[in-house]
Amino acid sequence: MNGFQIGLVITLIVVFLSIVVGYRWPRIFVRGPFRVLLAILYRREVKGLENLPKTGGCVVICNHISYIDGILILWMLPRNVRFIVDGGNFGNAFTRYLARAFDTILMFANPKSIGRALKTAREGVQAGEVIGLFPEGTITRTGQLQAFKPGLRNVLKGTDGQIVPMWLDGMWGSLFSFSGGKFFFKIPSLPRRKLTLYIGKPLPTTTPLEIARSGVQKLGADAAVDQSARYPVLAKQVIRTWRRRGGKIQAADSLGQEVTGRQMLMRVLALRRVLKREVLDQDEQFVGVLLPPSAGGVIVNMALAFDRRISANLNYTVSSEVLNHCIQEVGIKHVLTSEKFLSKMDFQLDAEIVVLDELREKVTKWDKLVAAIQALLVPAAILDRILGLNQIRGDDLLTVIFTSGSTGMPKGVLLSNANISHNVEAIDLAVQLDDHDTVLGILPFFHSFGYSVTMWAVMALGPRGVYHFNPLDARQVGKLAEKYQATVLLATPTFLRGYLRRIKPEQFAKLDVVVVGAEKMPADLFESFEKKFGVRPVEGYGTTELSPLVSVNIPPSRSPAVFQADRNEGSVGRPLPGVAARVVSTEDDHELAAGEDGMLLITGPNVMSGYANQAELTSQAIQDGWYVTGDIAHVDTQGFIHITGRQSRFSKIGGEMVPHVRIEEELAKLFAEGDEDESVRVCVTAVPDIKKGERLVVLHLPTEKDIPEILKSLQEAGLPNLFIPSRDSFIEVAEIPLLGTGKYDLKGAKQVALDQFGEAG
């Protein structure tokens, strides 16, 4: 037998043995090549491996991002996992062979098959196996964690197995995920991904489904915090976006300014040079900005970011005393403003005022030439290095935003580049802003939504930003929306009511996304707005300390999910990717089940760095990485957050907690009945009371309605007696105290009540 014949025989034997081994022992034949392939395609890391029981039966539950999550988890874990999977995806001999290779439990869409699969899984747990579940039941279309199906309970029924929560991070944006609104037919966003599997501490078999879901979501937030370095440096992103926009209008305002992307970049670079040379000290960090939302306001903020300074947009609706408190809090030396804007104000500030109109004269031809060369000719990567943007890290501060001060002096909230960058990415996932959008920027930049969303998100993601300094000026807002064909509006319910009265339907004709926040959206306002303008608003939720966005209902026109619920009217939406929410008892801090009201806690990469020079307040607000919002809320079985009220907006009367917002909702209906005026007409506050602890007080605009009749209507609406104010607790006022953001001025409202009834009520 010659060498060729010997080789042929050996080859045939190898092929024969491969077929036999592959058929008889597919785990050996299939998993080996898969492990090699996955090691080539991905880098892996496992965190919390000590939490996976080394022996004994358990059920692992994980988020579901891609088609190959099960294979990846098998590759990353030392123990074999038998996943329960949809048998509909294994309809031919080859896929069933693969199912055998990976020890999957196939479950088809009929009662007998479901029963068999669950029985097999239960027996597996009892026999000491690891059973795997993706409790969402389907791959997420938005990157958000979906509701959990009840299958987990059925698998664990009658067993003593534990629940092991997991989170697989790194697959969103891959070929196998639904990022970009489609599977497969896209270019992966990263060449060789790093995948990290987070394993949480085992949970008892009796753990409620929603608490188990909360555990998985918390691991997702941990992953997002750990990976915060991957969030882009926003100044870098803006440079590339403006270059892409080129000669298209990037920013416009009611002052008549229209600035293209190319012009924005040149002006920002020129202003940065002049500020650095003529105004700012080398080691000066915090710089005050006193400007309305406008193209000029954007340019100033961007110039500071490009110079790695920390902007402090100051609230121009408050007194000099409050402004000086803010200035002293972070040590602001210079405040940048304009002559036209300053002439309308009467501020006495403890900082040097820099009038930008005068500074314009100091811009030299050389400044303009250098700015033009940098903007038009220098490659972006080199420009990053020239500006020092490559030195920016995720935890470097980007801005300080002062709280509204509705209940006291404002606190300086320190927000990092990663904080705001995460919000920009989350907004992109939720609303999918692009070059075809025009965002109506009516929220001031001293407001966290105005700063993060209508400025940074707009400039970084590519839409056109159109700005107006007064959100209550409905007529001008309507004109701008019509002129620039606005598609996106972020506002408060208070502002929407004004637009209902004064804006014509054709002015909002192109509007298809309206997101509201800052206060509860009245049910009737959804209907009224949609009826007139053809677009139904959605609610979102956030706070300054959370950069600010936490959750949002996905607007119908931007929803990528056909069969997945991503909107629940009456809620403020599900937490955004990377953000986790939990509700705990106000008595003993234990986590509450779905539907139970308690204190809302939030964690994730959006949690602030802290309050400026307020270490004690910071430690009170952030506990074990969770921000204590001060809002009373519950999370439903689908994972949507429902805000019940603000802790400070409850009164303890006769030992019971009485929510002001609930009473306001009923009173608002009664005071507005038959009246076309959509302005805020009522506000509930409270004063101390010797007998009952507190006494409810109602501030209201002039009305012809009879107070006894109103009280009777409150009773007929089903309000408990404790929720109904006394007849002499109504105070008529010329206007309801409001802040510049449209929120109630709670401090001002309470002072009106105290002036009337005194400290003892």
Same-domain check for residues 464 and 607: yes
Indicate if 631 and 601 belong to the same structural domain. Answer: yes
Residue 26: inside a domain: no
More confident residue, 289 or 403: 289
CATH of the domain at 312: 3.40.50.12780
In this structure, how many other beta carbons lie within 10 angstroms of the beta carbon of residue 496? 24
Residue 712 domain boundaries = 654-757
Q: Do residues 638 and 750 both lie within one domain? A: no
* Tokens coding 219: 């691991």
Query: Both 246 and 287 in a single domain?
Result: yes
pLDDT surpasses 60 at 9:
no
The confidence band for 20, taking pLDDT boundaries of 50, 70 and 90, is: very low
Domain stop point among 642, 676, 699: 642
pLDDT at 223: 95
Q: What is the mean pLDDT of residues 574-599?
A: 91
Cis peptide before 548 (omega within 30 of 0): yes
- pLDDT for 18 beyond 80: no
Supply the angle between the helices 417-431 and 234-245 in degrees, to the nearest 10.
50
83-119 residue pLDDT tens: 888 776 666 677 677 767 777 888 787 888 888 888 8
Same domain? 615 vs 483: yes
Q: Per-residue pLDDT averaged across 468-485, rounded?
A: 93
Q: How far apart are CA 597 and CA 441, in angstroms?
A: 34
Give CA 444 to chain center in angstroms. 19
Q: Interhelix angle for 3-24 vs 26-41, to 10°?
A: 100
Most confident of 67-71, 393-397, 564-568, 646-650: 393-397
**Based on the domain organization, do 341 and 425 belong to the same domain?**
yes
Give me the mean pLDDT over the 343-363 stretch. 90
- CATH no. for residue 733? 3.30.300.30
d(CA 374, CA 387): 10
> How far apart are the C-alpha atoms of 95 and 106, rounded to whole Å?
11
The answer to whether position 723 is within a domain reads yes
Residues 663 and 606 placed together within one structural domain of the fold = no
* 670 lies in some domain: yes
Query: DSSP letter string over 698-746?
Result: EEE----S-HHHHHHHHHHTT--GGGSPPGGGEEE-SS--B-TTSSB-H
Residue 27 belongs to a domain: no
Between these two residues, 433 and 506, which has the higher pLDDT value? 506
d(CA 312, CA 288): 5
Q: Which positions ≥6 away from 237 have C-beta within 8 Å?
A: 424, 460
Instruction: Indicate the pLDDT class of residue 158, thresholds 50, 70 and 90.
Output: confident
Residue 51 pLDDT level (bands cut at 50, 70, 90): very high
**196, 350, 220: which is closest to 288 by C-alpha?**
350
Establish if 270 belongs to a structural domain.
Answer: yes
Distance CA 468, CA 449 (A): 15
Structural domain includes residue 11: no
Cα(382)–Cα(484) distance, integer angstroms: 34
pLDDT at 208 over 70: yes
pTM of the model: 0.82
| Identity at 361, one-letter amino acid code | E
Judged by average pLDDT, the poorest of 204-208, 597-601, 750-754 is 750-754
Section 352-359 average pLDDT = 93
Let me know: does 642 contact 634? Beta carbons within 8 Å: yes
Instruction: Say whether pLDDT at 187 is over 60.
Output: yes
Q: Which of 168, 192, 224 is the last residue of a domain?
A: 224
Same domain, residue pair 129 and 54: yes
Q: Which residue in 617, 611, 761, 603 sits closest to 695, CA to CA?
A: 761
Residue 132: name the closest of 52, 23, 50 by CA: 52
Domain end: 642, 677, 700, which one? 642
CA distances from 673 to 390, 475, 527, 677 (A): 58, 25, 16, 10
Instruction: Specify whether 299 is located in the same domain as 441.
Output: yes
Show the 3-state SS of 78-144: CCCEEEEEEHHHCCCHHHHHHHHHCCCEEECCCHHHHHHHHHHHHHHHHCCCEEEECCCCCCCCCCC
Same structural domain for residues 238 and 111? no
Residue type, 615: A
pLDDT digits (tens, 9 = 90+) for 613-639: 999 999 999 999 999 998 889 999 999
Number of domains in the chain: 3
pLDDT score recorded for residue 27: 62
**Using CA atoms, how far apart are residues 333 and 284, in angstroms rounded to an integer?**
8
The pLDDT of residue 41? 85
Question: In this structure, what token pair is assigned to residue 603?
Answer: 């964690």
The answer, yes or no, to whether residue 408 has pLDDT greater than 70, is: no
Flag whether 710 is in a domain: yes
- Same structural domain for residues 261 and 197? no
Average pLDDT, the chain: 86
CA separation (Å) from 136 to 214, 537, 638, 640?
13, 27, 10, 14
C-alpha Rg value of the chain to the nearest Å: 29
- The yes-or-no verdict on residue 416 having pLDDT over 60 is yes
In a domain, 22, yes or no: no
Q: Which of 1-5, 347-351, 440-444, 695-699 has the lowest mean pLDDT?
A: 1-5
pLDDT at 602 over 90: yes
> What phi and psi values does residue 744 have, to the nearest 5 degrees?
-65, 140
Give the length of the chain. 761
pLDDT grade, residue 650 (50/70/90)? confident
What percent of the chain is modeled with pLDDT above 90?
Answer: 50
What angle is formed at CA 290 by the lines to CA 286 and CA 294, rounded to 5 degrees? Answer: 115
Q: What confidence category does residue 29 fall into, taking pLDDT thresholds of 50, 70 and 90?
A: low
Q: What is the pLDDT of residue 19?
A: 43
User: 245 and 192 in one domain?
Assistant: no
Structure tokens, 161: 């197995």
Residue 334 has pLDDT above 90, yes or no: yes
